[in-house]
Chains A and B, each alone.
Chain A
């Protein structure tokens, strides 16, 4: 029996999971980051600790949470933190990595989850607002950003800076007073990106099988930087990992079905 190759969501979940190292404390939101964290725990990083915004941390294993407030996020947790204390753990250095989604992102990894349009009081579309997005991006040591790559989402200038990535590049994030390294990776359906160390501009790290640099650039509203030499192809999940993802992590395909359910 041959295993179907990874669909775009499964690929994103897998690549995200590879950002997690064993023994890390991982701050997770709903959706693919949660899938990725659970996959990491079931594969290469069995000893990670999950922390959630509603206060749950270190829950025992269960099914896929419906929300970050779902009882699965604090299933038999030894302690459930108040919201202010939960984010304080990022400030105080007890969280290694966090994942954030976005409606728009720019070349410096600044994120917008507030609105689309140029008039705050009369936007084309009002979105959720920050939630914990700004808190995690301001405080967490390493951020990984995740979303679909289209020219509408990868824009020259975000309509509202909800969360600061590398601000205007260079040393500007630190100058603004923020903590941590900022975004270290952006994971999309097309590839994996990092930030060039001096300018802090988004740079291709690897592209998923079948995606050329030109195609990735076409899906991006700003100029992507190219790495030195040949662009690596993103490592794809093995049949074993895909089996775990499909049968154990998200067996009902809540987040990894493609097209989405």
Chain B
């Protein structure tokens, strides 16, 4: 039924295209949206319950937020602890699916960007790709993937884009198609980008009410579109507020309750990432992940054993970062960076993690 780019199928060696279908299967997404319980009801449950009920093996899951900004890391870690298998991951950026490959959680990659900018390259993704432990189903740029999600949110079959033209990305993406702009007579190539419908998206927010209306502060990136598109939506929230608070303080409310299947009260749910206004990254955690953890399979396993499988929840994780002192330092730092705390005389310097130089300090 779907008209995939044959050159990309050949280049990516995808023989059975059924693996690609669900991401662009608008009818099934619409049906999922129509048949889910539309009642405005209390959707609160534990993280364990939400992941067990709404994240299934083989699902297409998203990486939301911005790699390590308001990203639901603690929910991803619970997915790993529950041993989910063979998921596809899509997101712009798509940084977090890398460490899930080693545990069989992520099997397929719709890739836009894996890594952490200046902190070092992710050799784990490279190694897993070479060993065939992850299969790339499509290549994207951040903006073109964002347009695919946005098309779903806008309620349209797709958009015409001026991105990707002439690049090799179109030769490694079965979903996109270079076409003549139908609105012009002169030569005007465009790229058709179909609306993208992931199975499940988890979004970490500052506040939600028990129905799922959700408010964020800071960059929203693709999350409003992801919530509108996904067949299933889990909200993890720093705090659950009364509905009247959402009504009175509706600035930043980007997700209406009807999209949402589960609401999880999860303070520190974005740790070790940055939560705008609340806590700064653990920079050393990311540096150690990239500069030590990604170097070998053994390193990655021992790193994740300590930080994920040996933690039952986010509180264990925060305790390992430094507990109350970490919370205070991370809050002060992020508020100072945002200029909500006084910055005169504040010292932004910190000791980077480097191989052979591990202070054990994570703030």
A interface with B by C-beta (< 8 Å):
29-31, 53-56, 60, 62-64, 66-72, 74-76, 80, 82-84, 87, 91, 114, 120-123, 125-135, 138-139, 160-164, 167, 172-173, 175-179, 252, 255, 261
Segment from B30-38, B123-131, B201-209, B298-306 that makes contact with A: B123-131
Q: Which of B12, B111, B281, B283 contacts A129 (CB 8 A)?
A: B111
The answer for the CA separation of A126 and B114 in the assembled complex, in Å, is 10
* Distance (whole angstroms) from the CB of B53 to the closest CB of chain A: 29
The answer to whether B141 touches A128, judged by C-beta atoms less than 8 angstroms apart, is no
From B15-23, B218-226, B239-247, B258-266, give the one contacting chain A. Answer: B218-226
Q: Are A178 and B147 in contact (CB under 8 A)?
A: no
26 intermolecular pairs with C-beta atoms under 8 Å apart? A54-B221, A67-B118, A67-B119, A67-B281, A69-B219, A71-B218, A71-B334, A74-B218, A75-B337, A75-B339, A84-B225, A121-B12, A122-B129, A125-B126, A127-B126, A128-B121, A129-B139, A138-B162, A138-B165, A172-B166, A176-B165, A177-B188, A177-B190, A178-B165, A255-B118, A261-B352
Candidates A56, A130, A177; contact of B142 at CB < 8 Å: A130
User: Which 9 A-B pairs rank lowest in CB-CB distance, beginning with the nearest?
Assistant: A177-B189, A135-B143, A176-B166, A131-B113, A134-B141, A126-B126, A87-B143, A130-B141, A84-B146
For the complex, would chain B's binding face be called helix, strand, loop or mixed by DSSP majority?
A: loop
Q: Decide: A134 and B338 in contact? CB cutoff 8 A.
A: no
Which residues of the partner chain A approach B136 to less than 8 Å between Cβ atoms? 121
Within 8 A of A (CB), among B314-355: 334, 337-339, 343, 348-349, 352
Give every chain A residue within 8 A of B141 (Cβ-Cβ). 130-135, 138
| Residues of chain B lying within 8 A (CB to CB) of residue A122 | 129-130
Whether A132 and B143, one on each chain, are in contact in the complex, defined by CB atoms closer than 8 angstroms, is yes
Q: Is the CB of A82 within 8 A of B339?
A: no
B116 within 8 A of A: yes
Nearest chain B residue, comparing its CB with the CB of A134: B141
* A134 close to B163 (CB less than 8 A): yes
CB of B169, distance to nearest CB on chain A (Å): 6
With A and B bound together, what is the CA distance between A244 and B224 in angstroms? 41
CA distance A64 to B350 in the complex (A): 13
Would A127 and B121 count as touching, CB distance under 8 A?
Answer: yes
Q: Give the residue among A75, A91, A121 with the most B Cβ atoms within 10 A.
A: A121
B337 x A162 contact (CB < 8 A): no
Residue of B68, B112, B167, B189 ringed by the most chain A CB atoms within 10 A: B167
**Which residues of chain B from 157 to 182 have any CB-CB distance to chain A below 8 Å in the complex?**
162-169, 172
Q: Do A139 and B218 contact each other (CB < 8 Å), given the known contacts A75-B339, A134-B143?
A: no
Interface pair A161/B172, CB less than 8 Å apart: no
Chain B, range 266-309, C-beta contacts under 8 Å to A: 274, 276, 280-281, 283
Q: Which residues of A contact B219 (CB under 8 A)?
A: 54-56, 69, 74, 80
- State whether B169 touches A134 (Cβ < 8 A): yes
A100 to chain B, nearest CB (A): 12
CA distance A53 to B337 in the complex (A): 18
**How distant is the Cα of A172 from the Cα of B116 in the complex, in angstroms?**
33
Measured CB to CB, the closest approach of chain B to A107, in angstroms, equals 16
A163 to B142, CA, bound (A): 12
| Contact (A70, B337) CB under 8 Å given A123-B130, A126-B130, A129-B112 | yes
Question: What range describes how many residues of B lie at the interface?
Answer: 35 or more
The yes or no answer to B66 lying at the interface (CB within 8 A) is yes
Residues of B close to A160: CB separation below 8 A = 168
Distance to closest chain A CB from B351 (angstroms): 11
CB distance from A177 to the nearest CB of B (A): 3
- Check B162 against A84 for contact (C-beta < 8 Å): no
Q: Does B104 contact A (CB under 8 A)?
A: no
> Within the complex, which residue of A69, A114, A167 is in contact with B68, where a contact is CB–CB below 8 Å?
A69
Verify A55–B221 contact, CB threshold 8 A: yes
CA–CA, A179 to B117, complex, Å? 26
- Chain B contacts of A64 at CB under 8 A? 348
Is residue B48 within 8 Å, beta carbon to beta carbon, of the partner chain? no
New A-B pairs, 12, CB < 8 Å, besides A80-B220, A127-B115, A128-B115: A30-B118, A67-B118, A75-B339, A82-B146, A82-B221, A129-B113, A132-B141, A138-B162, A161-B166, A161-B167, A177-B189, A255-B118
CA distance A255 to B352 in the complex (A): 13
In whole angstroms, what is the CA distance A248 to B34 when docked?
56
Quote the shortest CB–CB distance from A143 to chain B (angstroms): 14
Q: Which of chain A's residues have a CB closer than 8 A to the CB of B149? A: 84
Q: Which of A75, A127, A133 contacts B338 (CB 8 A)?
A: A75
Contact B163 A80 (CB under 8 A): no
Question: Whole-angstrom distance between the alpha carbons of A100 and B171 in the complex?
Answer: 22
Question: Inside 8 A of A163's CB, which chain B residues have their CB?
Answer: 167
* Set of chain A residues within 8 Å of B143, measured between Cβ atoms: 83-84, 87, 132, 134-135, 139
Assess A161 versus B281: contact at CB under 8 Å? Given A75-B337, A177-B162: no
